[in-house]
């Protein structure tokens, strides 16, 4: 860790980046964006002649196609990919190329990509996430349990004499972690929503006996129903959330429990789908080894126009609704397709009493499969009725609904609503 970089970034993020209004924030972003573009002009071969006229935005495919000319460290894509795959296969993520750490990203869309970070970037990331997420009044002495698919030098940067972090591999069954968790007694628990849900049953049986001060959901969409279950099981007033991707530390919850974009770290352009839903196009001011410049994510974010009582001027996010890959399409009477956002599909389930674990999948032929942990003719009929109401409202032909038993695939990210594609 670069200690001076860490301390500087921590202090700036924790105490320095308090903007009086949106105008002050936007002026700051304009300066940071100009500095970032100047850096790209000098150090990224792809931007050596400026931003190409035909350039609109990046995505994962673009990043992988232009990896060698985009990155500023002279890292070869194929070599980096081999290194990342070796780490995944061996579950040993310590290999680096000099000070450059390499990670593999599949994302919830399933498209494979790689990301790289330098020691400086890892120090800034660690400082930013700790500055925003550590409880007020106590900065040090925390024991963080970090549940992830893959460890990385990026996460290990947090470890220090003042803050301890231990990595827990989510590929293992949660039961295998119980003894270690009970001995470790984490004050902060960071894990995907599916892992947190799995741990709740061990809390209820008292096989897991921890009293974490803070629980943070990462890597997966946190449904309202799941949030309530986790909050109650851990006896907390709220469950925090971090919206983190390989593209950056994008958003986190404030003191009031509301999600805000980290607009002191990155610029977010909003590609609106309707009045409130948008795709974020991000520029991360701190990512210089692998430039994140106008990078379009296919996450659907729902903006909350209400000012937050925490006082932050950063954009408030009501929910992360899902990915564009998870939008359902149904045929209308005229043969056209009707687009239906994941949130409307969720409501068809959540408006029905007695639902526990579930997953709704639109199959490749356009029909709908509903997996339920608790099935009954009454519940299934009620779900059919809710889908019929939705079909009438949106003007599409009612699809065939089939019901199966719910089985959670622990090797994949939890997605309550998903669309299979050919």
Q: Which CATH number fits domain 3-324: 3.40.50.12780, 3.30.70.270, 2.60.40.1080, 3.40.1180.10?
A: 3.40.50.12780
CA–CA separation, 219 vs 228, rounded Å?
18
Torsion of CA 62, 63, 65, 71, to 10 degrees: 140
> 182-203: per-residue pLDDT in tens?
999 999 999 988 889 889 999 9
pLDDT band (50, 70, 90) for residue 167: confident
Residue 130: what pLDDT? 87
Pairing status of strand 299-303 against strand 316-323:
antiparallel
CA–CA separation, 269 vs 74, rounded Å?
29
CA–CA separation, 61 vs 59, rounded Å?
6
89-93, 243-247, 327-331, 337-341, range with the lowest pLDDT: 89-93
Pairing status of strand 164-169 against strand 328-331:
unpaired
- Report DSSP letters for 299-332, one per residue: EEEEE--SPPTT---SPEEEEEEEEGGG-EEEE-
User: Residue 154: is its pLDDT beyond 90?
Assistant: no
> At what angle are helices 193-204 and 224-233 packed, to 10 degrees?
40
CA–CA separation, 28 vs 19, rounded Å?
9
User: At the topology level of CATH, where does 327-419 sit?
Assistant: GMP Synthetase; Chain A, domain 3 (3.30.300)
Q: What is the value of pTM for the model shown?
A: 0.82
The SS3 assignment for 411 reads: coil
CB atoms within 10 A of CB 389: 13
146 vs 153, 159, 218, 358, CA distance in Å? 13, 11, 10, 26
**Domain residue spans of the chain:** 3-324, 327-419
10-24, 44-58, 158-172, 398-412, range with the lowest pLDDT: 158-172
Name 29's Cβ contacts closer than 8 Å, sequence gap at least 6.
Answer: 263, 267
Question: Which of 180, 243, 235, 196 lies closest to 213, judged by CA?
Answer: 235
* Topology match between the domains 3-324 and 327-419: no
Displacement of CA 79 from its chain's centroid (Å): 27
Whether residue 286 contacts residue 265, with contact meaning beta carbons closer than 8 Å, is answered with yes
> 114-142: per-residue pLDDT in tens?
899 998 998 888 889 888 988 887 777 88
User: Residue 75: is its pLDDT beyond 80?
Assistant: yes
User: Residue 302: is its pLDDT beyond 60?
Assistant: yes
pLDDT band (50, 70, 90) for residue 363: very high
Whether residue 14 contacts residue 131, with contact meaning beta carbons closer than 8 Å, is answered with yes
Token digits of residue 149: 């698919």
Pairing status of strand 240-245 against strand 214-217:
parallel
Task: Kindly tell me the sign of the dihedral angle through the C-alpha atoms of 194, 195, 196, 197.
Answer: positive
> At what angle are helices 342-350 and 377-394 packed, to 10 degrees?
140
What is the mean predicted confidence (pLDDT) over 97-101? 87
User: Residue 165: is its pLDDT beyond 90?
Assistant: no
Residue 174: what pLDDT? 81
Torsion of CA 378, 382, 388, 394, to 10 degrees: -160
User: Residue 265: is its pLDDT beyond 60?
Assistant: yes
User: Residue 410: is its pLDDT beyond 70?
Assistant: no
pLDDT band (50, 70, 90) for residue 71: very high
Backbone angles phi, psi at 39, to 5 degrees: -65, -45
CA–CA separation, 316 vs 252, rounded Å?
10
């Amino acid at each position: 860790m670069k200690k001076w970089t860490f301390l500087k970034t921590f202090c700036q993020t924790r105490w320095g980046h308090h903007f009086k209004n949106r105008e002050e924030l936007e002026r700051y972003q304009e300066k940071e964006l100009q500095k970032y573009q100047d850096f790209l002009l000098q150090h990224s071969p792809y931007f050596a002649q400026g931003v190409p006229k035909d350039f609109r935005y990046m995505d994962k495919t673009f990043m992988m196609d232009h990896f060698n000319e985009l990155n500023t460290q002279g890292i070869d894509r194929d070599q980096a990919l081999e290194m990342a795959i070796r780490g995944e296969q061996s579950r040993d993520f310590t290999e680096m190329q000099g000070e450059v750490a390499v990670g593999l990203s599949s994302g919830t869309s399933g498209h494979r990509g790689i990301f790289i970070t330098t020691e400086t970037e890892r120090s800034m990331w660690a400082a930013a996430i700790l500055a925003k997420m550590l409880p007020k009044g106590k900065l040090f002495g925390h024991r963080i349990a970090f549940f992830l698919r893959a460890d990385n030098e990026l996460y290990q940067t947090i470890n220090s004499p003042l803050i301890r972090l231990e990595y827990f591999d989510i590929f293992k069954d949660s039961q295998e972690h119980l003894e270690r968790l009970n001995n470790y007694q984490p004050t902060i628990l960071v894990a995907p929503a599916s892992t947190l849900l799995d741990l709740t049953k061990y809390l209820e049986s008292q096989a897991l006996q921890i009293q974490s001060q803070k629980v943070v959901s990462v890597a997966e969409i946190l449904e309202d129903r799941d949030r309530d279950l986790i909050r109650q099981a851990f006896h907390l007033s709220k469950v925090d959330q971090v919206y983190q991707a390989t593209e950056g530390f994008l958003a986190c919850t404030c003191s009031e429990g509301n999600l805000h974009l980290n607009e002191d770290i990155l610029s977010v352009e909003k590609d609106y789908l309707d009045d409130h839903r948008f795709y974020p196009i991000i520029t991360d001011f701190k990512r210089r080894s692998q430039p994140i410049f106008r990078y379009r994510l296919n996450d659907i974010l729902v903006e909350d126009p209400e000012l937050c009582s925490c006082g932050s001027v950063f954009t408030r996010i009501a929910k992360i609704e899902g990915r564009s890959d998870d939008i359902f399409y149904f045929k209308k009477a005229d043969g056209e397709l009707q687009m239906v956002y994941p949130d409307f599909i969720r409501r068809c389930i959540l408006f029905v009493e007695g639902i526990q674990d579930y997953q709704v999948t639109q199959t490749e032929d356009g029909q709908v499969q509903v997996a339920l942990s608790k099935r009954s003719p009454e519940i299934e009929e009620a779900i059919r009725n809710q889908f019929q109401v939705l079909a009438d409202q949106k003007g599409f032909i009612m699809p065939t609904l089939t019901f199966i038993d719910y089985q959670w695939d622990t090797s994949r990210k939890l997605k309550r609503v998903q669309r299979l594609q050919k």
